[in-house]
Amino acid sequence: MIALESVSKSYGDGADALRDVTLTIGKGEFVCLSGPSGAGKSTLLRLLLREEVASAGRVRVGDLDLATLGRDARQTYRRTVGFVFQDFRLLADRTVFENVATVARVMGVPRSQQWRRASGLLQQVGLQHRMDAYPLQLSGGEQQRVAIARALMNQPVLLLADEPTGNLDRALSLEVMETFRAINAGGTTVLMATHDLELIAYVNRRVVHLQHGQVVGDGGRP
């Protein structure tokens, strides 16, 4: 489903965030990206979301070459991808419910289905009682759970997560992993970046190790 072919990403300061990365991820896999801060994990996810374009090489998802997508095609593609950002990216002037339901609203989903789906996801992440609150009224952990619910709203075929449990305690982190595993069991491909080795061991799926922008290990399960 995902194929990176000799992908490099450089920035204006000359730093290489990724260097000659070749990686294939099959449809329906759950893959953990591990590595220290600055290893290139977030950059790889941004390339797959098509927020950025590779400096060299090719990034493909399904039949799509992401570098060649025009504006409309990018928007269509992103509707098939869920992304849990490290910095949440919630809308401060919208309630918790509105933040989650906005994805479906943009896609033209009927209001009754928006309510049912958003309410169910907020219950799944333990925030149904805060649906009328605003992001700044929530703790960091609560904001992150809203972001997870929002990422699942469009029932994505690909779910990308960048340190999705960074602000959660251990018990909630494991609950989030169970949610991700349930989504994966339904056929969604999941690619999660984390430096949490205990969480990686708990997930017990394929692990791709990055260091200094390069793949230094792709050895299956930990």
Structural domains in the chain, CATH included, are: 1-80+187-222 (3.40.50.300)
CA distance 222 to 206: 7
Distance CA 4, CA 35 (A): 18
What confidence score (pLDDT) does residue 221 get? Answer: 56
pLDDT at 170: 85
Residue 172 identity (one-letter amino acid): L
Q: How far is CA 82 from the centre of its chain?
A: 6
What 3-state class would DSSP assign to 125? coil
Cα distances (angstroms) measured from residue 172 to each of 121, 125, 136, 183: 15, 9, 20, 17
* Cα distance between residue 9 and residue 134, in whole Å: 36
Size (the chain), residues: 222
Q: Which residues of 133-149 are buried (b: 16+ CB within 10 A; e: fewer)?
A: ebbeebeeebbbbbbbb
C-beta neighbour count of 162 within 10 angstroms: 21
pTM of this prediction exceeds 0.85 = yes
What's residue 90's pLDDT?
Answer: 93
Q: What is the pLDDT of residue 11?
A: 86
The two three-digit tokens of residue 146, written as one number: 């809203």
Rounded CA gap, 52 and 67, in Å?
Answer: 9
* pLDDT, one tens digit for every residue, the chain (222 residues): 999 999 999 987 767 899 999 999 999 999 999 999 889 999 999 999 999 999 999 999 999 999 999 999 998 898 889 999 878 889 999 999 999 998 887 777 788 888 898 999 999 888 999 999 999 999 888 888 899 899 988 888 999 999 988 777 888 788 888 888 888 998 999 999 998 999 999 999 999 999 999 999 997 655
d(C-alpha 194, C-alpha 165), whole Å: 8
Partners of 4 in beta bridges: 23, 59
Closest residue by Cα to residue 180 from 163, 167, 195, 197: 163
Look at residue 108 in the predicted model and tell me its pLDDT: 77
> Can you name the residues that pair with 2 across neighbouring β-strands?
25, 61
